[in-house]
Structure 1
Amino acid sequence: MRSKKKISYLLLILFFACIGAVLLGKVLFLSDTTATQEIIPITEPKPVTTENTAPQTANKSLIELIRAYGDIPLIDAHNHDASDYKYIRMKNMWETTAVDRIVLFGDVSEPSAVKTDEIAWEAYRDRPEVIIPFFSGINLLESSGVDAARTMLEKGYFGIGEIAAASTNSPVLSKVAWKTKDPMDGFLPQIYELCAQYKAPVLLHIDPPNGFVIEKFKDALASYPNTTFIFAHANAFNSPGNIRELLKTYPNVYADFFAGFTAFNPESSNKLKDFIPVMKEFPDRFVLSTDSGFGLKSEEQAIEGMYRLIDELGDKKIATMIAYDNLYSLIRDQPATTTQIEAIRKLDNGKIQTLNLEKLTKLEAGEILVGKR
């Protein structure tokens, strides 16, 4: 009897348990359906991550940048590869990275620069369509430096520099023998006059890019308005605002932009994008350079910096001006020298008779004298 009652109780418990399970399952099902209905309509975008907001250029390789912008002509406006004949080893790199022309010199404002100036000239004779020789091996502290500069410009060099007009912080140029204290020191004023006479630019190293030496640089810009000055690696340890002030106030100064420094050197306090507004305001007053990759892991990385700057600009017309036209116009517009014209007259070449030597440019004269025309 007790067994039957016990069984009956168990059956009753199982019955209610089954009913409870069904009801619980329904509740859970409805609860799950409700939750699903609440989730489906939500279409808010995912939070934007740092990766998504990074500049587009940062995701492009050098090869991709060259494919995109290799059709833009490119001049490296500041290159030291005459030192140790490095330019020979760089030939393939320049071709691979679509660098069209190189302003070439070597050592700076010291006796060893006399030899590297000669090497730059050898490179020019070998490839006049690529190499634009500048020189730096002149003593800025003696009048003989002015005479040497005149001789070099007469020969056919296209510009003076890089020369150390002031240097306190540079681990290299602060120690060179022929540097001046400031951009108006030594025989620099006479050299500026010479540059105006030959319409040749002068590439000045000035550090630090502030304080007394910059005030003296402004003095030089104002005192020699017919001289074209190029402020070497103007963006290094400098602000866009400072560069803008110079360009706005002095129409005879160009900013040499070492893009690799801003793009890759951890000591840079700016990004490439910080300089874009100034470049777009003064598109005819910037030139691009590698400085042979000084302070970077390689010169190739410095070339990559130039392409990343072009990408940041987002304007091929302005990019072409900055990458090529501005510097080339300074080279193209120089008149042939008396020395060049006399040398051309001595050539036994029928083509010479058809030339108007009075209107000949230094560029054209150089091509003739190195036997390329």
Structure 2
Amino acid sequence: MRKSLNPKQTSLALLAVCCIIAIVWLNSKHYWPFERGDTASANSMSEVTDRVTKLKQAGGTPTLEQLVDAFEPLGLIDVHNHDASGSRYSSMLDFWKKDHINRVVLFGDVSEPSAISTDAAAWSAYQSYPEQFLPFFSGFDLHDQGSLDVIRNNLEQGYFGLGEIAAASTFSPVVSRVAWKASDPMDGFLPDIYELIATYKAPILLHIDPPNGYPVLKLEEALEAHPNTTFIFGHMNAYSSPEEIDRLLGKHSNLYADFFAGFSVYNPEGGGHPENFIPIMKKYPNRFMLSTDSGYGIESEEQAIDAMYRILYLLDDPELAKKIAHDNMMELIQVQPATMTQLSAIQKLAADSGKTYNYDQMSKLEAGEILANAEK
């Protein structure tokens, strides 16, 4: 006769079965580490510390492969990427997986009619890979009041932010020529746009060149007039000093720095001393993020990825590296609530499928993944 399990043994057996099912399910989804916004565990952070210590003890310049291995648990996010243009993102998927790029803030062309198509490409990429992409958009004419409808509709649909937006450009060989650029960060309907996106808690990533003088004076006017709006200064380190970044971040709590690592590490015009920015990153640990800008002005996008890891290595502080690599951007994403459009679509999905969902405090991130996965 088979001996019956006692209640305690039965509970343990059920727990073991549940764990096995969960592991199989996760493996079947092919998730990248921490791609749903989770942060590294205490054990993982200890492992990062140990690996970085060993790299420093070994001396010399670590390779990209060594840096990727050391910082992989952090879930590095590229917060500024143009690979929706020409759907280049498809050719980068293997690189991102190999180099453990956890998520990519994806958009395409900047403030011009062609951006409407690249916005759609970013959305398509997100629908195919909702755990890997965070779509932004810039396909609207900010001198046209109709831009407010475009922005509202896109945010309702599930885009996470606006960008890259040409808020001012004089010297960029590309952005200075776009049809829908602003003359300054308070031009056109930008003030109305700032107020609108604040209601969605969506950030706006601005291109501003030169990063000084009148354009920055108008940026500061915008920051002060719209304190509930989150502004991200695109490639803030490009042609700007640590002292100026310190001044702006110190004065405006709603301003974040998109740090284009490749410019400071590999572009000769960046000065070749990325370590000069490290004290400012340590001073404002919650407001720096890293980006590739798709490798603009340097050898390649992978070289730009390499540069992001080298900044993390220079920080010499795994906890700070975690914030700058991952947490700061994800906080801007996770704070965004699910929209009425998303909730309505999920309610219809529930009625059609018989599934139930917890709508209380559902985030835009959660709603977007539910809807994208339902389409697969």
Which of 150, 153, 156 is equivalent to 1:154?
Answer: 156
In 2, the alpha carbon distance for the partners of 1:372 and 1:347 equals 8
Return the match for 1:363 from 355, 362, 365.
Answer: 365
Structure 2 counterparts to residues 289-368 of structure 1, below 5 A: 289-348=291-350, 354-368=356-370
Which of 184, 188, 213 aligns to 1:182? It is: 184
| Structure 1 residues 254-293: aligned runs within 5 Å | 254-269=256-271, 271-293=273-295
Superposition map of 1:43-62 within 5 A: 59-62=61-64
Q: State the distance in 2 between where 1:358 and 1:248 align.
A: 36
Could you tell me how far apart the structure 1 residues matched to 2:179 and 2:67 are? 41
Shift of 1:358: 4.1
Residue 129 (structure 2) aligned to one of 127, 130, 148: 127
Post-superposition CA distance 1:191-229 (Å, at most 9, x none): 101110000000000000000000000000000000000
Distance 1:237 1:63, change over 3 A: same
User: 1:240 touches 1:278 (CA, 8 Å); kept in 2?
Assistant: yes
User: What's the offset of the Cα at 1:356?
Assistant: 3.5
> CA contact under 8 A between 1:345 and 1:352: conserved in structure 2?
no
Please name the residue that 1:67 is paired with: 69
Post-superposition shift, 1:123?
0.3
Matched, 1:213 2:215: yes
Q: Which residue of 1 aligns with 2:111?
A: 109
TM-score by length of 2: 0.82
Task: Give the 3-state SS of the residue equivalent to 1:359 in structure 2.
Answer: coil
Q: TM-score, normalised by structure 1?
A: 0.83
- Aligned residue for 1:139? 141
Is the alpha carbon distance of 1:352 and 1:190 closer, same or farther for their aligned partners in structure 2, counting shifts above 3 Å? farther
Deviation at 1:348, TM superposition (A): 3.8
The CA deviation string for residues 107-166 of structure 1, in whole angstroms up to 9 with x for no partner, is 000000000000000000000000000001011111111111111000000000000000
Are the aligned partners of 2:350 and 2:356 in contact in 1 as well (CA < 8 Å)? no
Q: Note the C-alpha offset of 1:64.
A: 1.7
Distance 1:322 1:256, change over 3 A: same
Q: Which amino acid aligns with 1:303?
A: I
How big is the shift at 1:103? 0.2
Equivalent residue, structure 2, for 1:46: none
Residues 222 and 352 of structure 1, relative CA distance in 2, 3 Å threshold: farther
**Aligned residues: CA RMSD:** 1.8
1:232 equivalent in structure 2: 234
Is this contact kept in 2: 1:239–1:270, CA < 8 A? no
- Give a deviation string over 1:242-301, Cα, whole Å, max 9, x none: 111111111001000000100000011351110000000110000100000000110000
- Per the alignment, in what secondary structure is the counterpart of residue 373 of structure 2? coil
Show structure 2 runs of 5+ residues with no match. 1-57
Question: Which whole-Å deviations, capped at 9, do the CAs of 1:86-107 have from their partners, x for residues lacking one?
Answer: 0000000000111000000000
Other structure's SS at 2:163 match: strand
Looking at structure 2, the residues matched to 371 and 320 of structure 1 have their Cα atoms a distance apart, in angstroms, of 28
Please, which moves more after superposition, 356-365 or 227-236? 356-365
Give yes or no for contact 1:57–1:311 (8 Å, CA) kept in 2.
no
Q: Distance in 1 between matches of 2:161 and 2:141?
A: 16
Deviation at 1:353, TM superposition (A): 6.1
SS at match of 1:230: strand
The SS at the match of 2:166 is strand
- Asked if the contact 1:231–1:255 (Cα under 8 Å) also holds between the matched residues in 2, the reply is yes
After TM superposition, list the pairs within 5 Å mapping 1:197-212 onto structure 2: 197-212=199-214
**Structure 1 unpaired stretches of 5+:** 1-55
The letter of the residue matching 1:125 is Q
SS at match of 1:185: coil
Count of matched residue pairs: 320
